[in-house]
């Protein structure tokens, strides 16, 4: 009798391969289906859903380890990552669907961080665009391409605030500011997941790394994080919260410990905060082997103890360590772990699979037609090019060195980043093919077909050899315009890529001094995944451009900006320090009881370097000039129920049409808890033709001026506030209002 009931339920619940589920299934809620399915599962099958293993790659292509293949066929694996390509993912899915007792489909995940095949600028670069719509569109294209190759799930967005450019993973985030980063986190989630997760062009998003992974001591990856709860809640948590509120259906634990508790065993983070306080209903996956790493943190005695700690804290899926797989059935048998915790985790994972439509059709993401027709199409490449030029930040432009004259005869491109394809697509470049990237020389040749473009490498990215210097000097002397293409290799930023010094690697600085010393018009282009300490260049290079790693269309995007076909509008999302001794340095610091005073020694400052950074947060020049004036509040006094409305006049006083990012900062003059000197609260992108002006209107709600008070509650206190408006965080135009 039990066998008959079992198979009847399976047939009703899991009607694979049909265009629609039976009518009786449709009438049941997803939760009812999941509960019914869980009731049929053995403990081994349940734990299988909690297990995530990797696919591998060798010279012959993707493959699955034999032991994992056996586990898939026995229902002991619920998800696979690093597997993509329709033929390959279909073969793995068939292993699960055709061989397991309950025919539960696999979930396929991958690090689709800034594009899949069409590679967009690295996330920090995209953040420099301050263009939320373009960032969402980039994520949408990434989801279309990745899902066309059989993927269901991306380990993105990374929502980690970071104020330490030594940390290599600044390249994956949105910089230092919680307001800007929150908008970007929301946009990425919406781009990946679309309006309906069952649409086969969407990906399930994953909020990572929860939490405060971007604040490791000494800027060293994986290191401990220790901070007050006020700092955690006001600065580091908002982007994660924004991603959760945007509907992200999965979240990933961080490698670090937070105030002494590893994130992967941190019940406060994963249950009390994420689920109970924020209402997150998706599932939590660990980062790579981080359950195992509880042993090295020194909080778990053995494999079983680590698994129990993680599960009880709120982890649902174990990435790669295999500790859940190895220990949970025995822990349940010995009554050390309550099986209801496993049921709860299974329920969350199955719900995402239902949301993706995998129970309707496990092969819905296995379309060879889509794989052929929806990857690296012309519109996708154009979107990457557009995102690239929006991400470029003009740091310095003395005597209007840029743009390059239109009818230039000879351009010399000098430096190791000039004809460099591999580094253009940056780290975490997913399935991107660097050989298809457009380098700087190619971009310039396409833009200036009648000009002579000469390339001389000069030196390697990282090395002490200077044999190429003489050739580089001769090329510069013979050219009408010189572009110095300098930077760091793609592997110098990203995971496990922290640097104690963030100067230009190798002898690139010496090469720059030699070439700039020729007196020729020089524009230095820095290609990197983080802010670099480039003090000499900031003072001596006539033009200085922060180009980041711009992706597949790098060369074209750079040529668009260098030529003036596109007027740069990017703004820095992360402060550039003068040297590493200033780190952490960020615009929203606090005054201290002894604010800086250059005439008094006993104030907060250094003896050997100014307090100010090399380039401030929000900095970015244009080929035109913008002037701000007539900042005016609608009224001078507001209540907590009012909207604080004000306007500023922006004028384009130069000779180019251009876009300015108008930034609004607020300072709370008197509060029960010390407040930052400035906080970004709003911004708008404004396009103006040369000679035009426009009144730009803003409205702030008093709730946005709130903070966590002494008693731990969040709210806005009455008092006086200063509003600053301008083109960067040093905005000088200000006015005051009172909140009653």
Using one digit for the tens of pLDDT, what is the confidence trace for 584-625?
999 999 999 999 999 999 999 999 999 999 999 999 999 999
pLDDT digit string (tens) for 537-565?
A: 999 999 999 999 999 999 999 999 999 99
Q: What is the pLDDT of residue 376?
A: 98
pLDDT above 70: residue 259: yes
User: Do the beta carbons of residue 33 and residue 360 sit within 8 Å?
Assistant: no
Say how far apart CA 303 and CA 321 lie, in whole Å: 10
Say how far apart CA 552 and CA 529 lie, in whole Å: 15
Say how far apart CA 661 and CA 570 lie, in whole Å: 8
pLDDT above 60: residue 649: yes
Q: Which CATH number fits domain 626-739: 2.40.160.40, 2.60.40.10, 3.40.1180.10, 3.40.50.2000?
A: 2.60.40.10
Position 393 confidence tier, pLDDT thresholds 50, 70, 90: very high
Q: What is the pLDDT of residue 29?
A: 84
- Mean pLDDT, to the nearest integer, of 733-740? 98
pLDDT above 90: residue 5: no
Given the residues 71, 111, 160, 287, the one annotated as active site: 287
Nearest to 177 by CA among 661, 646, 560, 519: 661
Q: What is the pLDDT of residue 15?
A: 47
Beta-bridge partners for 738: 637, 720
- Domain boundaries of the chain, sorted by first residue: 391-582, 626-739
Say how far apart CA 310 and CA 323 lie, in whole Å: 10
pLDDT digit string (tens) for 74-99?
A: 999 999 999 999 999 999 999 999 99
Burial environment of residue 706 by CB neighbours within 10 A (0 to 12, 13 to 18, 19 or more): middle
pLDDT digit string (tens) for 689-722?
A: 999 999 999 999 999 999 999 999 999 999 999 9
Is the Cα torsion angle 396, 389, 421, 481 positive or negative in sign? negative
Residue 287 among the catalytic residues: yes
pLDDT above 50: residue 31: yes
- CA 245 to chain CA centroid, Å, is 17
Say how far apart CA 589 and CA 606 lie, in whole Å: 15
Position 28 confidence tier, pLDDT thresholds 50, 70, 90: low
Q: What are phi and psi of 486, to 5 degrees?
A: -125, 170
Say how far apart CA 350 and CA 35 lie, in whole Å: 10
Say how far apart CA 181 and CA 242 lie, in whole Å: 9
Q: Cα torsion for 518, 524, 529, 530, to the nearest 10°?
A: 80
**SS3 string of 598-615?**
CCCCCCCCCCCCCCCCCE
pLDDT digit string (tens) for 442-481?
A: 999 999 999 999 999 999 999 999 999 999 999 999 999 9
Q: What is the DSSP letter of 625?
A: -
Position 407 confidence tier, pLDDT thresholds 50, 70, 90: very high
Q: What is the pLDDT of residue 197?
A: 97
Nearest to 41 by CA among 350, 313, 312: 350
What DSSP line would sit under 490-554, residue for residue?
A: GGGSSTT---S--SPPTTHHHHHHHHHTT-S-EEEEEE-SS----HHHHHH-SEEEE-----TTH
Position 19 confidence tier, pLDDT thresholds 50, 70, 90: very low
Q: What is the pLDDT of residue 57?
A: 86
Say how far apart CA 595 and CA 616 lie, in whole Å: 18
Query: Helices 508-516 and 469-478, interaxial angle, to 10°?
Result: 30
- Least confident among 22-26, 298-302, 379-383, 520-524: 22-26
Nearest to 347 by CA among 18, 698, 37: 37
Q: Cα torsion for 359, 362, 365, 369, to the nearest 10°?
A: -130
Looking at the chain, the whole-number percentage of residues with pLDDT higher than 70 is: 96
Say how far apart CA 559 and CA 440 lie, in whole Å: 7
User: What is the pLDDT of the chain when averaged over all its residues?
Assistant: 95
Beta-bridge partners for 454: 412
Position 61 confidence tier, pLDDT thresholds 50, 70, 90: confident
Beta-bridge partners for 207: 251
Q: Cα torsion for 131, 134, 140, 142, to the nearest 10°?
A: -100
Q: What is the pLDDT of residue 355?
A: 97
Beta-bridge partners for 481: 411
pLDDT above 90: residue 153: yes
Contacts of 412 (CB under 8 A, 6+ apart): 454, 455, 456, 475, 476, 478, 479, 481, 482, 483
Position 6 confidence tier, pLDDT thresholds 50, 70, 90: very low
pLDDT above 90: residue 10: no
What DSSP line would sit under 626-641, residue for residue?
A: EEEEEEEES-SEE-TT
Position 23 confidence tier, pLDDT thresholds 50, 70, 90: very low
Looking at the chain, the whole-number percentage of residues with pLDDT higher than 90 is: 95
Please report, for residues 186, 187, 216, 495, 573, the alpha-carbon distance to residue 243 in angstroms, rounded to integers and kept in the order given: 5, 8, 22, 22, 19
Q: What is the DSSP letter of 736?
A: E
Question: SS3 for 13?
Answer: helix
DSSP element (H, E) containing 651: strand 644-652
Q: Which CATH number fits domain 391-582: 3.10.620.30, 3.40.50.150, 3.40.50.1700, 3.90.110.10?
A: 3.40.50.1700
Nearest to 723 by CA among 707, 703, 699, 740: 699
Position 59 confidence tier, pLDDT thresholds 50, 70, 90: confident
Contacts of 1 (CB under 8 A, 6+ apart): none
Tokens of 624: 């035109």
């Amino acid at each position: 009798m039990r066998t008959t009931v079992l198979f009847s339920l399976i047939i009703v619940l899991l009607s694979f391969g049909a265009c629609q589920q039976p009518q009786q299934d449709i009438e049941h809620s997803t939760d009812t289906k999941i509960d019914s399915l869980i009731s049929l599962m053995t403990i081994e099958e349940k734990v299988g859903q909690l297990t995530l293993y990797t696919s591998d790659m060798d010279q012959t292509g993707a493959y699955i380890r034999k032991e994992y293949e056996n586990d898939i066929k026995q229902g002991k694996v619920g998800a696979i990552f690093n597997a993509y390509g329709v033929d390959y993912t279909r073969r793995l899915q068939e292993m699960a669907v055709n061989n397991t007792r309950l025919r539960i489909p696999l979930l396929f995940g991958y690090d689709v961080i800034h594009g899949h095949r069409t590679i967009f600028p690295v996330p920090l670069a995209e953040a420099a665009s301050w263009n939320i719509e373009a960032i969402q569109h980039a994520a949408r294209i990434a989801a279309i391409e990745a899902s066309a190759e059989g993927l269901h799930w991306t380990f993105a967005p990374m929502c980690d605030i970071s104020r330490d450019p030594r940390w290599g993973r600044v390249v994956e985030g949105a910089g230092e500011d919680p307001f800007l980063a929150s908008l970007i986190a929301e946009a990425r989630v919406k781009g990946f997941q679309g309006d309906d997760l069952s649409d086969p062009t969407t990906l399930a998003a994953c909020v990572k790394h929860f939490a405060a992974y971007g604040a490791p001591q000494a800027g060293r990856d994986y290191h401990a994080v220790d901070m007050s709860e006020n700092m955690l809640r006001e600065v580091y948590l908002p982007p994660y919260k924004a991603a959760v509120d945007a509907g992200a259906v999965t979240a990933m634990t961080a490698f670090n410990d937070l105030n002494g508790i590893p994130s992967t065993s941190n019940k406060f983070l994963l249950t009390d905060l994420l689920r109970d306080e924020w209402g997150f209903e998706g599932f939590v996956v660990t980062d790579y082997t981080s359950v195992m790493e509880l042993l090295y943190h020194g909080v778990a005695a053995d494999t079983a103890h680590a698994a129990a700690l993680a599960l009880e804290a709120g982890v649902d899926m174990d990435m790669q360590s295999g500790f859940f797989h190895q220990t949970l059935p025995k822990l349940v048998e010995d009554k050390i772990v309550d099986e209801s915790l496993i049921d709860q985790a299974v329920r969350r994972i199955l719900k995402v699979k239902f949301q993706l439509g995998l129970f309707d059709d496990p092969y819905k993401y296995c379309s060879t037609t889509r794989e052929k027709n929806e990857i690296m199409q012309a519109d996708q490449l154009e979107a990457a090019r557009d995102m690239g030029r929006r991400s470029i930040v003009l740091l310095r432009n003395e005597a209007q060195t840029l743009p390059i004259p239109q009818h230039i005869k000879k351009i010399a491109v000098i430096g190791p980043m000039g004809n460099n394809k591999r580094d253009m697509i940056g780290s975490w470049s997913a399935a991107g093919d660097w050989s298809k990237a457009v380098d700087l020389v190619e971009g310039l040749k396409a833009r200036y077909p009648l000009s002579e473009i000469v390339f001389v490498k000069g030196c390697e990215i990282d090395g002490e050899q200077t044999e190429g210097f003489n050739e580089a000097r001769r090329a510069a002397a013979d050219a009408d315009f010189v572009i110095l293409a300098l930077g760091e290799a793609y592997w110098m930023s990203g995971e496990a890529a922290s640097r104690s010094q963030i100067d230009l690697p190798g002898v690139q600085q010496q090469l720059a001094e030699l070439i700039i010393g020729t007196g020729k018009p020089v524009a230095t282009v820095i290609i990197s995944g983080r802010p670099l300490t480039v003090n000499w260049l900031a003072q001596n290079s006539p033009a200085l451009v922060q180009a980041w790693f711009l992706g597949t269309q790098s060369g074209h995007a750079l040529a668009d900006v260098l030529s003036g076909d596109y007027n740069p509008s990017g703004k820095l999302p992360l402060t550039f320090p003068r040297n590493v001794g200033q780190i952490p340095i960020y615009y929203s610091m606090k005054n201290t009881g002894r604010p800086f005073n250059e005439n008094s020694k006993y104030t907060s400052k250094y003896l050997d370097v100014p307090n100010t950074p090399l380039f401030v947060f929000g900095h970015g020049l244009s080929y035109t000039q913008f002037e701000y004036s007539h900042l005016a509040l609608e009224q001078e006094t507001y209540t907590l129920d009012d909207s604080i409305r004000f306007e500023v006049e922006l004028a384009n006083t130069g000779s180019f049409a251009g876009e300015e990012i108008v930034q609004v900062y607020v300072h709370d003059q008197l509060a029960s808890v010390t407040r930052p000197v400035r906080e970004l609260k709003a911004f708008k992108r404004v396009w103006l033709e040369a000679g035009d002006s426009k009144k730009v209107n803003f409205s702030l709600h008093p709730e946005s001026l709130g903070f966590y008070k002494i008693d731990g509650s969040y709210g806005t206190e009455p008092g006086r506030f200063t509003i600053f408006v301008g083109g960067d965080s040093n905005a000088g135009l200000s006015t005051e209002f009172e909140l009653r």
